[in-house]
Structure 1
Amino acid sequence: MKKILFILLFILVLLKTIILVNQERIMHPEKRPLQAYHYEWLNHPLEHGVKIEKYISEKKTPYLIVRQEMSKGLSKRQKLLTKQLGEYKVKKDAGVLVLLHGKNGRKEDLLPVAERYVALGFTCLLLDLPHHGESERKHLYYTNKVYEKFYVDEVLEDFSKHISIEDKALYMWGMSLGGAFAISNVLNSKHTFKGMVLVSTFDRFDRVLKRKSQAIFGDVFGTLLYKGLEKSLTLFYDFNPSLVNPAKLAKELKLPLYMIHGKKDELIAYTQGEKLFNSFASTQKKLYLDEEGDHHNILVTKHKFYKESGLFLLGARE
C-alpha cells in the first residue's frame, strides 16, 4: 500500500513539475541572443543592399527600419529575386511592410527576409515581440493583453517620426506567433492595411499546446498534462490559451491574404493553417501548401516564396 501511495505521489510531483516548467516556457520564452549571421547584416548592411536604422519606441519596443541602399549594388539574394521577376518593373516606393517574427525569435531573424522585400520596393519595419529580443516586457500573453492588440500601432506612431506614413500603403507579414500578432493588430489598428502575408500560423493556440503535449506524452497522458497546464496558467497568470483564437478574429478581416504552410510542419499542423485560411472573410486570398516545408525550412524550399508573396502584395495595392 505504501509503495502504491509513493508511486502516486511521485507521479503527482512529476506532473506538477512538468506543468510548472512548461508554464514558465510559455509565459517567459527563452530570449534568443544575437547570432553571428545577425552581426553580418548589422555590421555590413551595404553588402546586403540595405540600410538599417535602430530605434526604441516611446513604450520601449525595439525596432529596425530596413530600406534599400544601392551604393554597392544589389546583393546576391536581391539579384536572384529580380531575375525571378522577369519583366516586372519594381516600384521605388511600394509601401511599408511590417515583419513579425515567431516565438523564441527576434527582429534580427527577419533581416534576410527584409533584404528580399526591399528589392521589391518595400520599406520594412521589424520589431521585437513582447519578452523577445531586446523587449523589456516581463511576460508574453500571445495577443491577449490590450497593449498587445495595439503593439504595431504604437511602433508605427514612433516610426512616423522618421518616415511619414500618411500617403504610404501599409502591409503586414507574420510568421507563426508573429502571424497571430499580425491578425490581432490588423483587426484592431486605426490604420488600413492593404494586404497580409502569413507563414506557418495557427488557428488556435490551445491546439498547438495540446498537440505538442500529446506528441511527447501520448494522447491520454498528454491531454491530462495540457488540462493541468491550462488551469495552472489561468490560476497564476490569468491566461487561458483557448482565448488566443486567430481563426475567430479572421472572420472579421477582408484584406487580401497570402498564406504558406508546410505539410511536414510538426509544431503547427498544416490542417490548422487550412482552418485559419478558411476563416478569413477575404475574397482575394491564396494558400500555398508546401509539400517539402516544415516549421523551420518553410522560407527556403523550392517554392519561390518571396517572388509570389511580394507580387501578391503589390497586386493587392493596385
Structure 2
Amino acid sequence: MTDAAAAPLAASTLSVNTLSRPLVERLLATADALGVHAHRDGTGPCIVDAGISVGGSVAAGLLVGEICMGGLGQVNLRPDGKDGWPTWIEVHSAQPVLACLGSQYAGWSLAASKEETGGKKFFSLGSGPARALATKETLFDELGYRDRADAGVLVLEVDREPPQVIIDKLLRDCHLSGEGLTLILTPTTSLAGTTQVVARVVEVALHKAHQLGFALGNIVGGAGSAPLPAPSHDAVEAMGRTNDAILYGGRVHLTVRGEDAAARDLAKRLPSSNSTDYGRSFADIFTAAGYDFYKIDGALFAPAEVWVSNLDSGNTWHAGGLDMPLLLGLWQKEA
C-alpha cells in the first residue's frame, strides 16, 4: 500500500471545525431569513431546527451542505432547466478527501435504547465536522486525520431532537463544553434536508472510490452536480428521491494523480450502472430489500456519470450516463 493510500491526510493542518465556524455563525445570524430556528439546550449546545417544526429552505440546505464539507467545499443552485429538470445542485472542492470523507460523510452511528431515552429509541448517522473531533470511525485511522477545536458542529438527518443521552455522548466524545457544540437537524422530508443530501454527490463518488481501493491521497479535486427533487412527506419516498438524484442524475468529475491504468479503472468501475440493482427507484429497491441497506448491492451507491482526469498524464476517461427519463417518470406530473 502506498503512503497516499495509507494516510492521505496525515500531514493536514486544516481544521474542518474552525473553517466551518463562520458558516455556522452565518446560519444562526440569518436564521429567520432562512426559515430555521435555533435555541440552546439545557446543557448548553445550540440546536438548529432546519425543517422539523419550521419550514426551512433550499438556501438553508445549501449552507448546511457547505458546513457539512467543513468549509472546504462550495455548494450552489443552478436553476437553468438543463436536461429537462428545473433546478440542479452544484458542488466542488479543492480538498475533496478531507471535505467529503473527513467531514461530510454520514459515518458516525448514534443510537440510544428506549431505556436510555426514557421513551422512544433513537438512531441517527452523524455527519459534518464534529466527526473529526471524536474520530470514532475506523475511516479516520485510514485518513490519518484528527481535528482539534473548541467548537464543533454535527448534522443529523432526524425528525426530532436527540435525547440527552446522545447529547452527553457527543460532548464527551468530541471533548467539547456544552456551549461549544452545534447540532443541525435536517429531516430528509424537508427542503433543507433534501438539499443537503443531494449536495453529497461528490462525497458519494469519494466513498465509492475508497471502496474500490483507489488511493485517496491521489484524488486532488472533485466537482459534481445532481438534480434537486421536491421533498416528499413520506420518509422512505423522500430518502428514495435524494438517492435517485445521485444514482441516476449525478455527474462527478474527479481530478487525480498517479498511473493511467488506475485512473481508467476508477472511471470504468465507479458509475452506479455497474450495480445489479440499477434501473429502479431507490424507494422500490429499499422496500424490496426489507428496509435493510446491507441487502442492497453496494455498487449502486455511486453517481450516474463520471469523468476522471489524470493530471500526471493529461488524459481523461468518461463512463456511465444520466437516466433522466427514469427520474422524470418518478418526479414529474404533466399539467
Do they superpose with TM above 0.5? no
Larger Cα-atom Rg: 1
- Shorter-chain TM-score: what band? 0.3 to 0.5
TM-score (norm 1): 0.34
TM-score (norm 2): 0.32
Higher relative contact order by CA 8 Å / sep ≥ 6: 1 or 2?
Answer: 2
